[in-house]
Amino acid sequence: MPLEFEKPILELEKRIAELRETARTTGVDLEAEIRLLEDRLARLKEEVYGSLNAWQRVQLARAPGRPTTLDVLEKAFQDFLELHGDRAFADDPAIVGGLAYLEGQKVVVVGHQKGRDTKENLHRNFGMPHPEGYRKAMRLMDLADRFGYPFLSFIDTPGAYPGVSAEERGQAWVIAQSIQRMSRLKVPAIALILGEGGSGGALAIGVANRVLIMENAWYSVISPESCAAILWRDAKEAPKAAEALKLTARDLLAQKVVDAIVPEPEGGAHKDPDQAIRNIKEALLKTLEELKGLSPEELYRDRYRRFRTLGAYAES
Amino acid sequence: MALERLFRRKRPSGENRDVPELWTKCEACGAQLYKKEFRENLYVCPKCGHHHRVPASERVEMLADAGTFQEITGLRPLDPLGFVDTKPYAERLRAYQEETGRKDAILGGTCTIGGVPAVLLVMDYAFAGGSMGSVVGEEIARGAERAAAEGRALVIVAASGGARMQEAALSLMQMAKTVMSLDRLWEKRLPYVSILTDPTTGGVTASFAALADVIFAEPGALIGFAGPRVIRQTIRQELPEGFQRSEFLLKHGMVDRVTDRRKLKGELVRALRHLHPGVPYAVGV
Ligand SMILES: [Zn+2]
């Protein structure tokens, strides 16, 4: 299912392909016409992709085919060994994690996992974790600290699951604990917002020394739909809310909420997931290198400073 | 907020002309309450025990030892994103400031509580639903740091709908900031006690409020992560009776004690005296 604003581009691409096919099968020279359409396509792409608004980026962040945590772990890392369970209640499929190598470096990885089709999405609860998911993440943070391996997290959730079972098992409590546990890591920690960074459920694994974000990902205190439902009393005003929340990568960089933007292929990561994953790998390696010289105590203090200074207020 | 609306209600015409200034009504059982007595009873209905919301300044009076409170809060909010929904955020802030006489949704200071030196921070639900933006986050972090620097306990009375939407990601970041500031108390072995009042939800529950050494909750308070409306929409079912109320949280192991407001100061003092390493053994103070 193409996104609404992609449709004119896809239609033009289809027409060019058809002309090519006609030229090939009939032997008629259509080069001039094809070139004309290709010029128009290039201009159209520039027009659409060069001026994406916040709401369009939110849609790109949710686009089917966009790389998920497991895609990144399988393609950018070597020998990902998934570890399961929170040792207390259950294994939460909405959060995955385990051990891996990044260009030969040992690392511990955790991330929200959305489904790549409807069936998997149901299994993964659309990437909305229960408390046991965060407890699994904290277990893996313990593991990273115990062995001194860098901790890498991938954020892609509409939010922590808002349900009866999650509340009964202390959703707020585990999110708070996970924020605290991650802030206390004595190893380099990098978080990458892959797609959706929905509120506390995202931040729970986002308290890193460096926070990176994909070019078309979003990160905020609330989803545009929920924000619109509350402030505009109409979820259909989500495009307005997306704009007001200043939730795009560039806006977040200006607010210092993120430290760097990972570029996506033209039209979004779902257009060329492999290229997107190569960009991710490059960004992670570069960031790990930056943090390499810091001692455990310095890493803790660096993280403290990073978050301590965020916010906008005036002295009385 | 509902409570204050009751107090501000205009004199109705007709037969009740002399009633409204002196009397109010219990939100739960509807009992007619003599306002002076109601206040002396700490806004707890003497008929049914319902705990009404308390203005932040009166909360300070209930908990701080008389004459010891010195205000330390007063940062002013900005509008970093130029946020406009149906009204500009800047305008909303001005209205809340006029209504409450406060710069933002928190009132705090140094004081003693049962003789124990403390930093007491009280969230003000009347100001933007007690929501946490940059100011609330910074005041809490500074409060924790000050408590650590001066050997004081930290006591936070939470009352909040969660993180403030109009500061978006910056509000979210306050969750991390407040949580991290608590480490300063840990390092110094200083106690942190959190009191959850009606309502405490969202990013406030899911950050500093949940991480105290001892957590009190007031009876019947709504406490949780997601709001009941959101949960009802998600599961498309009615919620169980008492769901997300203090007693439910006690049963599920999330809070230490559900304490009647009229006994709260006494229990708070006991907890602080037990925990604070600088306070000697003393029973029944
Ligand atoms: Zn009553």
DSSP B130: G
Domains of chain B from N-terminus onward = 4-9+54-275 (3.90.226.10)
Task: State in Å: Cα B38 to ligand 1 middle.
Answer: 10
The predicted structure's pLDDT at residue B20: 61
Helices (H), A148-272: 164-168, 171-183, 199-203, 224-227, 238-244, 249-254
Task: State in Å: Cα B25 to ligand 1 middle.
Answer: 8
To which H or E segment does residue A148 belong? Answer: none
pLDDT tens digit sequence for B208-220: 999 999 999 999 9
Average pLDDT over residues A173-190: 98
Residue B88 neighbours by CB distance under 10 Å: 14
B44 in Cβ contact with A280 (< 8 Å): no
Task: State in Å: Cα B32 to ligand 1 middle.
Answer: 9
Of B208, B209, B231, the CB nearest to A162: B231
Q: Is the peptide bond before B46 cis (omega within 30 degrees of 0)?
A: no
Residue ranges near ligand 1 (ion) with Cβ within 5 Å: B 26, 28-29, 31, 45, 47-48, 50
pLDDT tens digit sequence for B42-78: 999 999 999 999 999 999 999 999 999 999 999 999 9
The predicted structure's pLDDT at residue B281: 83
* A128 φ, ψ (degrees, to nearest 5): -105, 105
B243 in Cβ contact with B228 (< 8 Å): yes
Query: Least CA distance to B104: which residue of chain A?
Result: A313
Of A162, A183, A219, the CB nearest to B169: A219
The model's confidence at residue A316, banded by pLDDT at 50, 70 and 90, is: confident
DSSP B189: T
Tell me the pLDDT of chain A averaged across its residues.
97
Measured between CA atoms, how close is A55 to chain B, in angstroms?
15
Query: Does residue A25 carry a pLDDT above 90?
Result: yes
Cα(A307)–Cα(B146) distance, rounded to whole angstroms?
18
Task: State in Å: Cα A94 to ligand 1 middle.
Answer: 44
Instruction: Kindly give the pairing relationship between strand B192-200 and strand A218-220.
Output: unpaired
Average pLDDT over residues A86-104: 97
**B165 touching chain A per CB within 8 A:** yes
Measured between CA atoms, how close is B155 to chain A, in angstroms?
18
Residues of chain A in contact with residue B201, where contact means CB-CB under 8 angstroms, are: 172
- The pTM of this model reads 0.95
pLDDT tens digit sequence for B109-157: 999 999 999 999 999 999 999 999 999 999 999 999 999 999 999 999 9
pLDDT tens digit sequence for A236-286: 999 999 999 999 999 999 999 999 999 999 999 999 999 999 999 999 999
Measured between CA atoms, how close is B191 to chain A, in angstroms?
17
Q: What is the value of ipTM here, to two decimals? A: 0.96
Please answer yes or no on whether B141 and A312 come within 8 Å at the CB atom. no
Radius of gyration of chain B (CA): 19
Site of tokens 């009866």: A164
Q: Is the peptide bond before B240 cis (omega within 30 degrees of 0)?
A: no
Measured between CA atoms, how close is B182 to chain A, in angstroms?
9
Q: What percent of chain A has pLDDT over 90?
A: 98
